[in-house]
Amino acid sequence: MEQTYSDEARFPGSPITAGLVQMNLDHVERVRRNALEIASGEGLDADLLELAAILHDISKLDHREASSGGIDTWHHHARGASLARKVILVNLRKKISLADQIAQIIETHSDIPFIRRYWTACYHADLPTPQSREQIALRDADVIDMLWVGGMTKIVHFRQVPGSDFFKEDGGDIQKAIASARRSFEEAAGILTLRPAKHLAVERIETVQSFFSSLTPVKNLPEFVRVYNHFVEEHKAATSTHLHNSWRSK
């Protein structure tokens, strides 16, 4: 994963930075841990879910996706499923059946409301929906990581990238970006399905709601960054416990 992300960062004209590479590697590690906890609680195949979690965002940093600030938010599940299948077959020399199963798990992990709306509006088509418990488990593991102040801050930052579709939608208004992040947060929290995932999310949800309450007076991105850094400092113990201080803004 590190090599794949670093290759994107080295591509001429790529918007991918070393910080963005590390942020996404940290995310992958947290999703891996979430997936293993869910697998343990649900009696699922831990090895299968761990490999799917490690590879689930293999196409997330795609220099071609300039409309979303260099992050392949909208299509990475489909591209990632195809690339992960190739990695499993060629690099890991695993069986076709395993490659197909993991590709299917990855392809369905992005079925969350704000991505689903985009696909419906742009492509008049539905996203692949998780059906098996393993597919649901990966989606839950991924969503859990979104339900933290770092995840919400990432959304606000992406929506403040000039020229991106997000920025155009908000007109650059930071409060609209925050409102969109909050809506995405509440919808994502509502789709958690498996019992261990819901348990993992309880404290995160309470903390993020408190974070949103502190953002009312924010008027621009630098102010948002200051509020975020102060909030993280005050909640350092929780941040350390959950390993979610992933977007330490500069």
More confident residue, 191 or 16: 191
- Report the C-alpha gap between 138 and 46 in whole angstroms: 11
What digits encode the pLDDT tens for the residues 92-105?
Answer: 777 888 999 999 99
| pLDDT at site 245 | 37
Q: Assess if residue 111 is contained within a domain.
A: yes
> Is the pLDDT reported for residue 126 higher than 50?
yes
Q: Is the pLDDT of residue 246 over 60?
A: no
Q: Is the pLDDT of residue 116 over 60?
A: yes
Q: What is the pLDDT of residues 47-103, one digit of tens each?
A: 999 999 999 999 888 766 666 666 777 889 988 999 999 888 887 777 888 999 999
**Across 207-223, average pLDDT:** 93
H/E stretch holding 224 reads helix 221-234
Residue 31 to residue 250: CA distance in whole angstroms = 24
Give, in order, the Cα–Cα distances in Å from 120 to each of 81, 124, 125, 199: 20, 4, 5, 31
Helices (H), 43-173: 46-55, 76-86, 96-107, 113-123, 133-146, 149-159, 165-170
**Residue 249 covered by a domain:** no
pLDDT of residue 248: 35
Whether the predicted pLDDT of 151 surpasses 70: yes
Q: What is the pLDDT, as a whole number, of residue 68?
A: 64
Amino acid, single-letter form, for residue 213: S
Region of poorest pLDDT, from 106-120, 180-194, 226-240: 226-240
**Neighbour count for residue 172 (Cβ, 10 Å):** 15
- Averaged pLDDT, 156-177: 88
> What pLDDT sits at residue 20?
80
On whether residue 170 sits in a domain, the answer given is: yes
For helices 76-86 and 96-107, the axis angle rounded to 10 degrees is 170
Examine residue 197 and state whether it is found in any structural domain, yes or no.
yes
Altogether, the residues listed in the chain come to a count of 250
**Distance of alpha carbon 78 from alpha carbon 203, whole angstroms:** 32
Q: Domains in the chain: how many in total?
A: 1
CB-CB contact of 209 with 182 (8 Å)? no
Share of the chain above pLDDT 70, in %: 91
The reply to whether 250 falls in a domain is no
Asked whether residue 142 carries a pLDDT value surpassing 50, the answer given is yes
Residue 9: inside a domain, yes or no?
yes
pLDDT band at 247 (very low <50, low <70, confident <90, very high): very low
**Assigned domain for 247 exists:** no
On the question of pLDDT at 175 being above 60, the answer is yes
Q: Is the pLDDT of residue 250 over 50?
A: no
Contact between 52 and 136 (Cβ < 8 Å):
no
Domain residues for 216? 2-242
Residue 219 counted as domain residue = yes
CATH number of the domain encompassing residue 61: 1.10.3210.10
Residue 61 corresponds to which tokens in the numbers above?
A: 């940093």
